[in-house]
Amino acid sequence: MRPTTLLAAFVWLIGTLLPAAEGKRLAFVVGVDLMVFAKTRGELRDISHVGRGGRLASSSAGLTMFAARANGILYSEPCRDGFSVHTLRSGSGKDEGAGREAGGGDDETQDAAGCADGDIETDGADRTRDSRPGAFPAGSGMEGSRAGEVRNFGGLEMVWCPPGEFWMGSPEDEAGRFDNETLHQVTLSRGFWLALTECTQGQWESMTGKEPSKFKGVDLPAETVSWEEAQGWLAKMNEKNPLPAGWKWELPTEAQWEYACRAGTDTAFAGRGVLDEMGWYGGNIRIKTDRVGTKKANAWGLHDMHGNVSEWCRDLYEDYPRRSATDPTGPTTGSIRVHRGGSWFDRAELCRSALRSGRSPGYRSSRLGFRPAAVPMGR
C-alpha cells in the first residue's frame, strides 16, 4: 500500500503514540518511501536527504514530518481542517496531486484531506500561500481549496473566496445605516479570486504606461481612475496575462465584494478590532492614501477592504430586492456604477461592510480605485 493511502490514518495514530518529550521521533519505511514524525522541526534537523529528495512539513496534529521517495517527494501541508498529502515529481516543479479531493484520483496523486494545493507555505495567519507566479494546479483548475488561500496569478497575489451564503446589507439597528442596505440572503454558487490588495500604481502603470493618480507612489493604490478605465486595465490583463479557459479578469460584483469584505462576519466592520486597525479613513490618515497592505487584514487575508480608496464594482446600481438572490449581478440597464468600501476621506460609518455608493462610469476621484478579481465566466 502506498504511503499516501496510509498517511491519513497514520498521523492521528502517531499523535497518540509519539511521546511528548523532546528529542523523540518515529519513522516508517514503506517500500522505497520514508516518513519521519517528530514533535518539533528541530528534532528532524539532522535529516537532509533520502533517496532523491526530501522535505520538512507540518501536520495539524501538532507533528512535524519529513518524507521522501526514490522518484520524487511525498509531503504533507497544514490546513485548518486537517492536512493534505501531495507528490511532487523530482525535477518537474509540478504538484501532481494539487486540488484532488479525498477519494479522487489514484493513490500517487490524491489529496488526503482536500486541503492546500501546490508549492504552499503558511504565512502565520492560518492561510495557505502558493508562491509560484502563474501556477495553475493540475486537476482542479482554478478552484481554491479553502477560504483565504493565496496564489499568484499574472503577478498579482489573489485570495480564494469559496462559494457560500451570507446576509448582504445591514440590520435596521446598525449605526450609520442607510435605507438602501436592505438585509437579504445571497448565495454565491461559484468561488472566485480577489486581489489581496487594491490595484497599486505600479500594477496600473505596468499595463498602461500611465500615472493618473493624485498621490504618487508605486505601492499606493491606483486612484483617479474611472470605471471605464478600470475595465480597460482588466482587458489588458486578459490579453497579456490570460487565465485558464473559463476564467477571466473582472471587477467583482457588488455581492462578491461584500461577501469577501465580510469574510464570514455579520458586523458593521469585518473583524472584532476597531476600524483604526483595519483601514485608512478620515479618522486616522493625513488627507491622502497610504501604502496598500499595511493595515490588518480580514479573516480571509484581504487588506484595505475598509478605507484607503473606495473600490469600483461591476454592477450597475439598483435597490436591493427584499428576497433572497443567487449570483446577483445587478440590473442590465442604468447609468450609475457601484463602488464600495469607503476611502481615506470618509468618516467611519461610510467605510462599513454594507455601505453602498455609486457614480457614473466616467467619474474620477482620488478617493476611487479598484481591486481586480479572477472570476468564472458567466458570474
Under 8 Å between Cβ of 373 and 194: yes
pLDDT of residue 100: 28
Check residue 323 and report its DSSP letter. S
Sheet with 325-326, side-by-side order of all strands: 164-168, 184-188, 325-326
Under 8 Å between Cβ of 26 and 37: yes
Residue 177: is its pLDDT beyond 50?
yes
- Paired with 312 in beta bridges are 339
pLDDT of residue 272: 73
pLDDT of residue 68: 46
Q: Span 326-350, mean pLDDT?
A: 97
Tens digits of residue pLDDT in 41-94: 444 433 333 333 344 444 344 444 544 443 333 333 333 333 333 333 333 333
Core vs surface per residue 273-283: b (16+ CB within 10 A) or e? eebeebbbbbe
Residue 221: is its pLDDT beyond 70?
yes
Domains in the chain (CATH in brackets) are 3-122 (no CATH), 164-376 (3.90.1580.10)
Place of cell 493511502: 5
Q: What is the mean pLDDT of the chain?
A: 75
- Residue 163's nearest CA partner among 269, 270, 259 is 259
pTM of the predicted structure, to 2 decimals: 0.66
pLDDT of residue 144: 96
Residue 191: is its pLDDT beyond 70?
yes
Residue 219: is its pLDDT beyond 70?
yes
Tens digits of residue pLDDT in 55-69: 444 434 444 454 444
Residue 325: is its pLDDT beyond 90?
yes
pLDDT of residue 80: 35
pLDDT band per the 50, 70, 90 thresholds, residue 37: low
- Report d(CA 233, CA 211) in Å as an integer: 13
Residue 95: is its pLDDT beyond 70?
no
Under 8 Å between Cβ of 70 and 50: no
